[in-house]
Amino acid sequence: MRKLYCFDFDGTLTYRDTMFMFLRHYNARRFYIRFVLHIPLFILLKLRLMDAETVKKSFISSVLKGERRSRIEEESDRFFNENFPAVMRQNALDFLNSRDPAQTESWLVTASLDIWVRPFAQKFNMKLLATEAEFRDDVFTGRFITPNCNGNEKLNRIRAEIKGRKFDKIIAFGDTAGDKPMLNWADESYFRFFH
């Protein structure tokens, strides 16, 4: 039986949201300054007066815009080495290590930016479906080349990637409302399974 596992990342496989962790790791001084400046936007987001994609793009851009791809990738690898496996839920690690690669395929489906999640996906031999950063001349523009990979967009990305391929069973794991479309669509789904 050929299975496809679709895993959310932050909060599902990890204990913490990696966006704030990575941006603080990348440049702590800039992170704290930009965090304070973004407090009004975070409040508007909490009050549902702004959408998450706009706030996320603004905050990530304020820390990483203009940085070279090589430096971001180097820091992403360093971030992974410093935080793996501590940031991962032990139950999730046990499950990931028990998969049979001959019978399963695994995709990491996350709203986080591809640049810092890629080392985690590579570690577990997963295809990465994430929000993708835009680079021009190997410099981060501060923009995304895909919509924020959350909510319905998660399901859109999965469907586009499947492209008519057949799986006997599709199993999804998530932990927030942003995972619901993916969870509702899958043959089998688990909410906060590793908590």
Q: What is the pLDDT of residue 30?
A: 97
What integer is the mean pLDDT of 89-108?
Answer: 95
What integer is the mean pLDDT of 122-131?
Answer: 97
More confident residue, 1 or 147: 147
Q: What is the pLDDT of residue 179?
A: 97
pLDDT for residue 102 is more than 90: no
Distance of alpha carbon 61 from alpha carbon 143, whole angstroms = 7
- Looking at the DSSP bridge assignments, the partners of residue 86 are none
Q: Which two tokens stand for residue 9?
A: 């990342």
Q: What is the pLDDT of residue 32?
A: 97
Q: What is the pLDDT of residue 24?
A: 97
Q: What is the pLDDT of residue 36?
A: 96
Q: What is the pLDDT of residue 53?
A: 86
Amino acid, single-letter form, for residue 14: T
Cβ of 168: how many Cβ atoms within 10 Å? 10
pLDDT for residue 142 is more than 80: yes
What pTM was computed for the model? 0.94
pLDDT for residue 181 is more than 80: yes
What integer is the mean pLDDT of 63-92?
Answer: 98
